[in-house]
Amino acid sequence: MRIAIDAMGGDNAPECNVEGALAAAAEWSDIEIVLVGDEARLGPLLKTKPSNVTVRHAGDVIGSDEEPVKAVRRKKDSSMVVAGRMVREGEADAMISSGNTGALMTTGLLVVGRMEGIERPALAPMIPTLDDVGVLALDLGANMDAKPQHLAQYALIGSIYRNKVHGIAKPRVGLLNVGAEPGKGNELTKEAYPLLEALQGIHFVGNVEARDVLTGSCDVLVCDGFAGNILLKTLEGTAGAMFSLLKEQFSKSLKTKLGAAILMPELRSLKGKMDYKEHGGAPLLGLSGLVVKGHGSSDGNAVKNAVRQARIALKADLVPSISKEISGK
């Protein structure tokens, strides 16, 4: 298995990517990692280079603020686009990037290519849940104006992912909606509901309200990219705001500081639970190859986790399984 890492992508690049690559290569001897990026910058970071880590030079970088489609079209020698080309041409089995999210989705569509039979690929991160199991939510930003049949495809490919990568025999699929009853929602969810109900091969558990997502009421959460983005960013924003408030409250006096010191391990553990970095990368599902998006603020550990995820998906034949289910090929 060969995994290409966009070494120049992410806020902490290239250091985090090199660190994660080295840790992953040391842990799993059945993978080869190709760090794609500027040789001159990567060389000095690779003082010890294990035999299953190589560098592929790419002279250009797509910045985090660049307009995605323009950047991908123009910067053919950027680390992200080169990694995508490696996947398309079979030189790598998967690619991982923590760079510009829009550009990565564009690279997925234009460079790696859509899977036959899939209208819209979906970005599918894990959202942490209280029971520590997590829910795979899709789409979270690849497709802003989804149609009911897109949501049905998300249900199918999300179920295959949870089954193949996480070993869940019969993943429960929920539709993100404003009420539990079947008739609730906007035009999109009202039309998608009967499609999901009729879909063979998935275990549809009905509508799921946003406030019940964290209690783990489903394994796959289906939504359009706009609603999904609102859900995920509200979750991040609320968790962040509450930690700020806790910090502020707990540093009010000597007494509260003492209380907070006693509870420090528990507060850290809570923060870990609400932390996206620990939940690895988000696959872009529905492409003809495996693409995993890391969080922009990924550190070495997050990059290593993304490699772990890609390795499991490759070992489980994720992409061919989805393709077989979607187009019968």
Contact residues toward its own copies (CB under 8 A) are 130, 141, 144-145, 176, 178, 185-187, 189, 209-215, 224-227, 229-242, 244-246, 249-250, 252, 255-256, 258-263, 266-267, 269-270, 273-274
What are the DSSP calls for 111-142, one per residue?
Answer: II-BPTT-SS-EE-PEEP-TTS--EEEE-SSS
Distance CA 155, CA 145 (A): 16
Distance CA 249, CA 80 (A): 43
Is 47 or 255 the residue whose CB approaches its own copies more closely?
255
Is 234 or 327 the residue whose CB approaches its own copies more closely?
234
Distance CA 240, CA 164 (A): 32
Closest distance of CB 257 from its own copies, Å: 10
**Of 66, 46, 70, 125, whose CA–CA distance to 294 is shortest?**
125
Residue 118 structure tokens: 């899939």
3-state secondary structure of 320: helix
Closest distance of CB 273 from its own copies, Å: 7
Is 29 or 149 the residue whose CB approaches its own copies more closely?
149
Closest distance of CB 15 from its own copies, Å: 26
Closest distance of CB 299 from its own copies, Å: 20
Query: What does DSSP say about strands 122-123 and 126-127: parallel, antiparallel, or unpaired?
Result: unpaired
Burial (0-12, 13-18, 19+ Cβ within 10 Å), 114? middle
Closest distance of CB 26 from its own copies, Å: 33
Closest distance of CB 78 from its own copies, Å: 21
Distance CA 28, CA 4 (A): 15
Distance CA 139, CA 134 (A): 15
Residue 62 structure tokens: 């797509």
Is 130 or 198 the residue whose CB approaches its own copies more closely?
130
Under 8 Å between Cβ of 305 and 278: yes
At 4, the amino acid letter reads: A
Is 7 or 221 the residue whose CB approaches its own copies more closely?
221
> What is the C-alpha R_g of the chain?
20
Closest distance of CB 5 from its own copies, Å: 26
Is 46 or 260 the residue whose CB approaches its own copies more closely?
260
Closest distance of CB 64 from its own copies, Å: 12
Is 88 or 190 the residue whose CB approaches its own copies more closely?
190
Under 8 Å between Cβ of 281 and 294: yes
Is 25 or 154 the residue whose CB approaches its own copies more closely?
154
